[in-house]
A = this chain, B = another copy of it.
């Protein structure tokens, strides 16, 4: 399971586990056109910034391949259309745009088969590089953590499911576990979509990593009772100054951790760093459908007509982040300067 990936590439098709159905059903869906891949990102069959990047890379490749094989017309304008279609799916995660840029930068050779081969290789490389990065993040993370057997709180799912494989925050947790340094993972529910309860618990249980599920509302109590030693989460976009967007509720936890002097870490590949966004204020925050809050599953749990505010992400300011764990090392404040050194 630690070799688990939410994506497969088989018989020229992208195959992805339907993360909306976990943990009760394990269903793999097969994709052979870019429209459906864009839809799978938008509807969260696949989610997690690095995994979205991988899916978008394959979406680009499959879209171009179908165009070249089946249609006539202007390839450049088709590529623009594909990039726009994939780019409009989720606005916050920057890895999506990075992956599309990498795919676009593949030279369009006169030999279309060679071009397609290079696109396919690039998509596979984006995916494999992400897995490699996650494993290196795991190694780096354990070097920066406090001593001893640790109790760790994480939010949402920054696991194998959210990446090409292995995970970022859960990558660090896997590395702790492999080194016999993990006592317990506290996974919070992560309302409204419950990625903690649904995905993180499923992933860790499969790997026999000890996990306790807690409601998001229990973060303060858990920290005041000294039940955890540190917090680690992933990120969807890290601004130049270190401000980090991640799943809604991350900022809550970072504030609460600060009050209790509990270190708060971000674990993310460098593809999540966006030096062109200067601070968190510049990160677009996706607002999602109110029914995610009004309903659980197919059932309303509130007055169906009630107004809802449902932001998908929040921004944790750099000053609350003890360190950002990347595949190229552990970055400490001041983030702008220290990211510049590493890049």
Residues of A within 8 A of B (CB): 23-24, 186, 189-192, 194, 197-198, 201-202, 205, 210-222, 224, 227, 247-249, 251-252, 255-256, 259, 285, 290, 293-294, 296-297, 299-303, 305-311, 314-315
Pairs A–B under 8 Å by Cβ, sample size 17: A197-B294, A197-B302, A198-B302, A201-B306, A210-B307, A212-B306, A212-B307, A214-B309, A215-B216, A216-B252, A218-B248, A219-B252, A220-B255, A221-B251, A224-B315, A252-B252, A296-B301
Secondary structure of the A contact surface, majority rule: mixed
CB neighbours (8 Å) of A299 from chain B are 296-297
A187's nearest neighbour on chain B, judged by CB, is B306
Q: Is the CB of B248 within 8 A of A252?
A: no
Partner of A212, one of B259, B297, B301, B308: B308
CB neighbours (8 Å) of A294 from chain B are 197, 213
CB neighbours (8 Å) of A301 from chain B are 194, 197-198, 296-297
Partner of A251, one of B192, B216, B220: B220
Q: Is the CB of B205 within 8 A of A248?
A: no
A194's nearest neighbour on chain B, judged by CB, is B301
